[in-house]
Amino acid sequence: MSLTKAQVTKIVLSLPLTEESTSYGYPSFKTNGKFLTRLRSEDASLVLYVASIDERDHLIEMDPETFHITPHYKNYPTVLARIAKLDAKRLRHMLDLRWRQCVPKKLLSDNRR
């Protein structure tokens, strides 16, 4: 099932220590002051961190209707996900992985997310 921007925002903001912010002048979401994601109005996509460039390339190869990149992101372990093609379960999983990189380790052990 596809998502709307409002649904994406609700999912992102449900993560502890996450708030709306800006990054390089664009509206974004940060967790514990660190970049988590941002909605791209340019192509109705979401910027998502992944473990590696190889993982990103694999996602694009396996599901090019959902995942893509622009030249700006080619040297970073990030992928762009078309919101209309993304499902909530996958989004939550991808955000949770990045969220874990952003929060204090004590919060991870206390919450056992």
CATH 3.50.50.60 at 5-105, yes or no: no
Distances (CA, A) of 3 to 21, 33, 38, 42, 83: 21, 26, 15, 17, 6
Residue 59 DSSP class = H
* Residue spans per domain, the chain: 5-105
Give tens-digit pLDDT for 32-75: 999 999 999 899 999 999 999 999 999 999 999 999 999 999 99
Amino acid code (one letter) for 90: R
Give tens-digit pLDDT for 89-113: 999 999 999 999 999 888 777 655 4
